[in-house]
Amino acid sequence: MGMKTASTSHVAQPRVAPTIDEDIIKVRTAEGSLTFQDEHIEQFSRHCKSFYNSSLVLTSSSTSLDKNVGYAMSNDHKVLQGRIVIEALDRIGSLIAACEHCDRSDSMEVQRDAKDTLSRLRKEHELIAAVHKDLLDDCGLLHVDSFLYHGEHSLSAQEPNGSLRYEQYTQIRDALRRKSHKMAMMQRQSSLYELLSDNKHSNSSGDVTNSTQYLTRQKHVKHAMSTIEQFVRKYKENIGSHSFLAGLYRLIDNQLHPKSKTDIVQWNFKGSVLTEACQMNNEGDTEAYARDATHVLFSFLVINDADVEGGSVNIDANEDIQEPILSFQIDKFISDNNLRRILSVLPNPKHLDARATGSVEVFDDSCIDKVQARMNIDGHLDEAWPWWQELCNLL
């Protein structure tokens, strides 16, 4: 079954992001001069990197990476260590907040509650430290009191006070987390471009791009309807799919009711609609929804490559990644009758819990260079359907 493109241009591929390993030192120096216990900061940075990189970035590629069982076990151990280190810092942050709350309040009850919280958090830390003493010591997180006291309690003149030391750790943690989020977004974008490319190549091999029989024949229209029905059954219970389904319905409905018969309706939406809007547990297959949604799109729509925006993915601490915008149009050979058949298997937007995602754009005859003119609106190229199916379509 062929996917046809409204343009011969290729979807831009994002550049590969640098690994966090290359940027740990840059992150440290960018946040300020960390002269105190640089080895502790460095160890903490590496454990943070392992945790965020594995939990946010490598999830979708874990299948290929973990073919080596030894590597998988080693990676899991690093993730566990990273989680322990980050949770230790979070606990220290709670201790600092409890101390400040106790100092600021004159209420005996509030002070008592704060002291109870301090006692509980200290015990939790002691229990964790008893098991992971070396790990916390390497990261400078073993002794919580060093974060709670001010400069006059420092061990040396070069050691910052507790609040500054904690701030340095949190800056490192937050910077690495932001970097991992950006890398994860890049990875999802790259996967999306691969899905688009795979559909293009698999469909072009069927030699239907220039065939007037595509979507004029019953079997192709029925396949599109079946693809949509399967998608609806699988994902309708997940509200994350509703804006996508509503968008499909709006596109078809608008194309069936144009101001002029020659008008072409284009649907523009963010790539995250496919990669992030609907996350389901598919036995580790994080791309299942995007893949299924892409199959739905290409079953009766064409992608306008010329209007694909985004893909500029320079990783910079102060620069956001530009999200790709995808544009789809109705296949030029599908008739209004077959559009109604496809529309009939989509849920009514009144029964969905989200509005249509993206926006619609209408092109008239003056924009023929941007769109494919419809060639079969009245169905004169369509294969004849049995009379009872025609009756069902009218109803």
Give 217-264 pLDDT, tens digit per residue: 999 999 999 999 999 999 999 999 999 999 999 999 999 999 998 899
Residue burial 257-287, b: 16+ Cβ < 10 Å; e: rest: eeeeeebbbbbbbbbbbbbbbbeeeeeeebb
**Does residue 266 fall inside a structural domain?**
yes
Confirm if 347 and 305 have CB atoms less than 8 A apart.
Answer: no
Same structural domain for residues 48 and 116? yes
Domain count, the chain: 2
Same structural domain for residues 120 and 222? no
Domain containing 73 equals 37-159
* pLDDT value of position 395: 53
Give me the residues of the chain with pLDDT under 50, please. Answer: 1-10, 12, 14-25, 27-36, 58-73, 151-159, 205-212, 312-318
For the chain, helix (H) and strand (E) counts, in that order, are 14, 4
Same structural domain for residues 277 and 382? yes
* pLDDT value of position 74: 64
* pLDDT value of position 11: 52
Same structural domain for residues 223 and 350? yes
Same structural domain for residues 235 and 373? yes
Same structural domain for residues 258 and 310? yes
**Does residue 311 fall inside a structural domain?**
yes
**Does residue 172 fall inside a structural domain?**
no
Tens-place pLDDT, residues 108-167: 887 888 889 999 999 999 999 999 999 999 999 999 988 886 544 444 444 457 778 899
Q: Which residue, among 126, 59, 67, has the nearest Cα to 91 in the 3D structure?
A: 126
Q: Which residue, among 269, 296, 294, has the nearest Cα to 355 in the 3D structure?
A: 269
* pLDDT value of position 256: 97
